Amino acid sequence: IPHMGVKDLSGFFCLQGPVHHGPAELERIHYLVVADVDELGANDFFQIFALGEIKTELTKTDILPWAEYAKNRAEHRRRITAIKRTRRVEVGPFVTFYFESADTMWLQVHEMLHIEKIFEEDGIRAEIEAYAPLVPDGGNWKATMLIEYPDPHERKRELARLIGVEDRMFVEVEGHARVYAIADEDLDRENEEKTSSVHFVRFEFPQATREAVRAGASVKLGCDHTHYPAHVEIAPDTLA
């Protein structure tokens, strides 16, 4: 895998399809299984991790040349869209979470570089710095939170009623205390009149909670805001 400087594939694995991890990617994987390495593609380098590692950062070495990405853009978008589909969780009828990963942010950076036609090192670095903080570090979950009311009049009214809602989102692991979201660390996305329809949130988990998730405990994602009480159990496929 030339992009990683790897010559010996011992200790690596691949699958015939996307290699990805759901929100349960709370810690390092301790063992990887060597499978059919003939199925490895040159464009899959960013999805293959060294023995014992889950990718928890995005760096310049992960970025493809502009022309190389453009050549296979449709395939990249198809693959990452499939990953994002498993990471989508609806809380009530109007709030949706997209749990981010190194894969989803890899696509986001490449799409921005492609659309904006950014070739210079400074521009590439700026995009990485903008999106790299959304990659979970192994002890937390990070997500994009969308508040979606189709009717513009209802949306205006409800965003005014839902001030502070981003701070009332929680993850509740069976047998453990709720973990509330840390929201919008880059900038404040609400004012005295309304909250934003887009928030970026982080859930930090204590060690015992991480271990419970890995052991198969049920997990709820919810909100206890006065004007939006809702919760949902996260599906096993999403936690996988």
Q: What is the pLDDT of residues 177-229, one digit of tens each?
A: 999 999 998 888 899 999 999 999 999 999 999 999 999 999 999 999 999 99
pLDDT score of 14: 38
Residue 51 pLDDT greater than 50, yes or no: no
* pLDDT for res 54: 63
- Which residues have CB under 8 Å from 97's CB, separation 6+? 88, 89, 90, 91, 143, 144, 145, 146, 201, 221
- Please give the model's pTM, rounded to 2 decimal places: 0.75
CA distance 189 to 192: 11
Q: How many other C-beta atoms are found inside a 10 Å radius of the C-beta of residue 71?
A: 13
Q: What is the mean pLDDT of the chain?
A: 82
Residue 137 has pLDDT above 70, yes or no: yes
Write the DSSP assignment of 3-17 as a string of letters: GGT----TT----SS
